[in-house]
């Protein structure tokens, strides 16, 4: 039997308990089970490492790191034979099961066997079955975290759709406010404070500490007076106004304020994806959750949209983003046309897609009025009308309007600014099934 051959076997024990785990997985309970297992098999536990309140999604845990750095991988460490762990889930809920296997292999290569206490020592004739059981356990541990993450995400989405905060800090100029389960205001949450009951809710309100006025001043200087971001930052620094970080302002911090739609009273969620310790990525605008008038606005929608338009023309990164959005929309329209003319022969379908008179324009706002600048080619002038697709880079849907535009209205330079304030603009808009009819008529008019 293990530990009875004259030389007592030694082990290092590892315990982990995270916030989402049940109390029966607490570190003291794991320690009791490890000591009981060690006594049963005559094993001496010479050292313990523990991670309290740490997720098992990665190996970046202080106790887990010390286990390897100070013991498993350290040639000067005291000799030992086993690493005792309660079960596969305590080793970690790695989203890649191979990562869990990698760390176990690091132990095996140094003649230190990982023993899962809940299963005990595998019998020699059951090694294959034990290995399969471990693999399944790793997958189930990862799946548990994925399912939990999905539940949390869906809950956060529902809360955000109602206009409440699903977590995080308030933007500069706002504070977080707690409401009880009956949606009655409880008070302001300080930094580091959180709701304690699941059905309580958190929203934003102006900070009333001067920072909300700074936000208003930034928009006023940029929108009303045309002062560029770097000069706004200089003025704030000259007046000894500190930023959200407590440091001086610079142009990038001013731009972040100007580009934050939250200041219109709109609650935004799902702008990025960063679940399960995976690398963060930006979500497309159409996947954002947007709840307007969720709390008191610091700036008007009109001023915010004007600021975005000014930033678009003055910042290369913004207009590059606009170009990318137009290109994505163009590909979507090509796919739409392909389906519309799928009965055409291949050569004709290719020619239609290549020569269809469709032009794209970015929506911008001037004095709160939407405008779109469309341009056509000389080839398009052969048609009596063309399709104009308006792309709005600041809204959830890429396409905000479709127009049937007479080519004789395009002036010198082949440009036409379609203005929502123009009384004739509604006559050019095309919606619903009329879009299919207009596009299909244009497709049929193209000759090879």
- Angstrom distance (rounded) from CA 137 to CA 37: 20
List domains and CATH numbers for the chain. Answer: 9-145 (3.40.50.1390), 208-310 (3.90.1750.20), 320-445 (no CATH)
Most confident of 90-94, 232-236, 309-313: 232-236
Which of 66-70, 127-131, 235-239, 434-438 is the least confident region? 127-131
pLDDT attached to residue 4: 45
Q: Which pLDDT does position 226 carry in this prediction?
A: 87
261 vs 317: which has the higher pLDDT? 261
- Length, in residues, of the chain: 448
Residues sharing a CB contact under 8 Å with residue 297, sequence separation 6 or more, in sequence order? 263, 264, 265
Q: Is the pLDDT of residue 421 over 50?
A: yes
pLDDT reported for residue 278: 61
In this prediction, residue 429 carries a pLDDT of 94
pLDDT tens-place string over residues 247-265: 999 999 999 999 899 999 9
pLDDT at position 316: 62
- Between 165 and 108, the more confident residue is 108
pLDDT in tens, 350-388: 888 888 999 998 887 766 678 888 989 888 998 999 999
Element (H, E) at 290: strand 289-291
Q: How confident is the model at residue 285 (pLDDT cuts 50, 70, 90)?
A: low
Pick 115 or 398 by higher pLDDT.
Answer: 115
Helix, strand, coil percent content, the chain, rounded in steps of 5: 45, 20, 35
CA distance 150 to 145: 9
The secondary element (H helix, E strand) that includes residue 364 is strand 358-366
Average pLDDT, the chain: 86
Is pLDDT at 44 greater than 50 in this prediction? Answer: yes
């Amino acid at each position: 039997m293990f530990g009875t051959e004259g030389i007592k076997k030694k082990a290092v024990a590892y315990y982990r308990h995270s916030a989402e785990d049940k109390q029966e997985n607490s570190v003291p309970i794991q320690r009791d089970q490890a000591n009981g297992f060690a006594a049963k098999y005559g094993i001496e536990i010479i050292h313990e490492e523990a991670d309290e309140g740490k997720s098992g999604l990665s190996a970046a845990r202080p106790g887990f790191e010390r286990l390897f750095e100070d013991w498993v991988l350290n040639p000067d460490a005291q000799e030992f034979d086993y690493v005792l762990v309660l079960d596969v889930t305590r080793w970690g809920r790695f989203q890649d099961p191979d990562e869990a296997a990698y760390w176990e292999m690091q132990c095996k290569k140094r003649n230190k066997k990982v023993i899962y206490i809940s299963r005990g020592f595998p019998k020699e004739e059951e090694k294959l079955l034990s290995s399969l059981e471990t693999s399944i356990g790793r997958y189930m541990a990862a799946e548990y975290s994925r399912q939990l993450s999905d539940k949390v995400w869906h809950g956060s989405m529902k809360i955000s759709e109602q206009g409440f905060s699903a977590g995080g800090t308030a933007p500069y100029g706002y504070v977080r406010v707690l409401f009880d389960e009956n949606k009655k205001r409880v008070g302001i949450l300080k930094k580091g404070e959180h709701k304690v009951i699941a059905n309580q809710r958190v929203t934003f309100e102006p900070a009333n500490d001067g920072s909300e006025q700074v936000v208003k001043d930034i928009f006023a200087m940029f929108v009303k007076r045309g002062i560029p971001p770097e000069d706004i930052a200089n003025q704030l620094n000259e007046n000894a106004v500190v930023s959200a970080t407590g440091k001086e302002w610079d142009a990038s911090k001013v731009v972040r304020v100007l580009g934050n739609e939250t200041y219109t009273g709109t609650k935004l969620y799902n702008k990025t994806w960063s679940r399960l310790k995976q690398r963060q990525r930006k979500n497309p605008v159409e996947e954002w959750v947007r709840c307007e008038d969720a709390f008191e606005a610091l700036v008007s929608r009109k001023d915010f949209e004007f600021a975005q338009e000014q930033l678009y023309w003055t910042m290369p990164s913004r207009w590059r983003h606009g170009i990318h959005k137009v290109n994505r929309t163009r590909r979507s329209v090509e796919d739409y046309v392909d389906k519309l003319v799928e009965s055409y022969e291949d050569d004709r379908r290719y020619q239609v897609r290549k020569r269809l008179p469709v032009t794209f324009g970015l929506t911008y706002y001037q004095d709160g009025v939407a405008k779109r600048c469309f341009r056509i080619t000389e080839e398009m002038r052969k048609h009596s009308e063309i399709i104009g697709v308006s792309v709005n880079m600041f809204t959830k849907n890429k396409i905000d309007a479709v127009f049937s535009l007479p080519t004789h209205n395009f002036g010198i330079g082949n440009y036409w600014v379609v203005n929502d304030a123009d009384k004739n603009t509604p006559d050019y808009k095309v919606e619903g099934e009329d879009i299919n009819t207009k596009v299909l008529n244009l497709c049929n008019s193209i000759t090879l």
